[in-house]
Amino acid sequence: VRIVENEMNGKLASQEACVGVRVNPLLGSGAIETLSVSNARSKFGMPLPDVETRERLVGYFVKYSWLRGLHVHVGSQGCGMVMLAAGATYVVDLADEIDDRCGAKRISTIDIGGGLPSNYGSESMGGFSFSDYVAALRKGCPRLFDTKRRVVTEFGRAIQSKIGWVAAEIEYVKNVPNVANKADFPQKTLVTHAGADLFMRTCYSPESFPVRIEAFRCDRGSSPCVFAAKDEAVLKYDIAGPLCFGGDKIGLGIELSQHLKEGDFVVVLDSGANCLSLWSHHCSRVPPPVFAYSRTKDNAIEIQLVKETSSSLRHTLDFWK
Ligand SMILES: Cc1ncc(COP(=O)(O)O)c(C=O)c1O
């Protein structure tokens, strides 16, 4: 708060600025520890169960009239709507307390963050809809809906993940020698161009961040690629990426058509969120191009290149300068 005040050199008081503070009600962890930000060791927000911190926060609002917002984001994927609604209730109560202490309607905006999950296991949204969330908020935090304050949300994966997918060419198909004679062993490894540089969470923490993988067979120079349905005879594959370490695998023992060969494609679904944004420079690879597509009125597919890949070595080297 002091930094904002100094930066603005006292000008905020005379402006219609709305600056908010992120608070942390410390509600605990969700199902995925690394996405949990409301536990005692969280680095985010002012931890308000701490009485001294809470008093300090309220004191800021009393002192600075340009402080008008409160923000809470209790976590992502695996936090459940009841927990999200508890976070909202916490900031609504706090907003009312701050208004009382300021003797004015000070809090004009409440930002309840993101946190709604995406379903990485199937095509469906995963047993929830945005209207379910509204219903959970109406039940758990009805006062959020009175019209005296603006409510802001920050949904990430619930909106983004299902609208993106990654296609990666199969560079090599390798047999896996089942030397230990284990029953549940893959038969082949598909070495592709999608690895831990793009699917960082999946490769380093596969139990928490599994992805759905499909395959398409592609005969060069002829018709378009065709979907390799899983009801044809299948093999178990490990799906590996291009990086130089053993854990560079986005799928382990995945069942896909037995006919897959070099030049075919694997497609990783639900990858519109936390994928390209986590791109790493491991092995100095260049990021992939990004295409957007939509259906036209006459039912054709229109494709647009929205982000080119830089194939130049110069671009890669520049990063290391
Ligand atoms: C402050 C904040 N808001 C929103 C989000 C988006 O989260 P989600 O993808 O769970 O909706 C995040 C994710 O890290 C965040 O840190």
- CA 30/CA 75 separation, integer angstroms: 7
- CA 115/CA 132 separation, integer angstroms: 14
- Beta-ladder partners of 150: 109
At 5-49, the pLDDT tens digits run: 776 666 666 666 789 999 999 999 989 998 899 999 999 999 998
Average pLDDT across the chain, whole number? 91
> Which residues are near ligand 1 (CB < 6 Å)?
73, 76-77, 113-116, 154-158
- Atom index in ligand 1 nearest the CA of residue 157 equals 9
Of 181-185, 195-199, 223-227, 252-256, give the lowest mean pLDDT range.
223-227
pLDDT recorded at residue 126: 72
Residue nearest to atom 6 of ligand 1 (CA): 156
- Atom index in ligand 1 nearest the CA of residue 75 equals 10
Of 98 and 126, the structure prediction assigns the larger pLDDT to 98
At 130-177, the pLDDT tens digits run: 999 999 999 999 999 988 899 999 999 999 999 999 999 999 999 999
pLDDT recorded at residue 299: 94
Distance (Å) from CA 35 to ligand 1 centroid: 9
- Atom index in ligand 1 nearest the CA of residue 160 equals 9
Residue nearest to atom 4 of ligand 1 (CA): 114
Residue 5: alpha-carbon gap to chain centroid: 32
pLDDT recorded at residue 308: 85
Residue nearest to atom 5 of ligand 1 (CA): 114
- Atom index in ligand 1 nearest the CA of residue 273 equals 9
Of 65-69, 190-194, 241-245, give the lowest mean pLDDT range.
65-69
Say what the pTM is: 0.88
Distance (Å) from CA 81 to ligand 1 centroid: 14
At 55-114, the pLDDT tens digits run: 999 999 999 988 999 999 999 988 889 999 999 999 999 999 999 999 989 999 999 999
Of 24, 119, 120, 154, the residue with max ligand 1 atoms within 8 A of its CB, to mutate for a pocket test, comes to: 154
Residue nearest to atom 14 of ligand 1 (CA): 76
Distance (Å) from CA 227 to ligand 1 centroid: 34
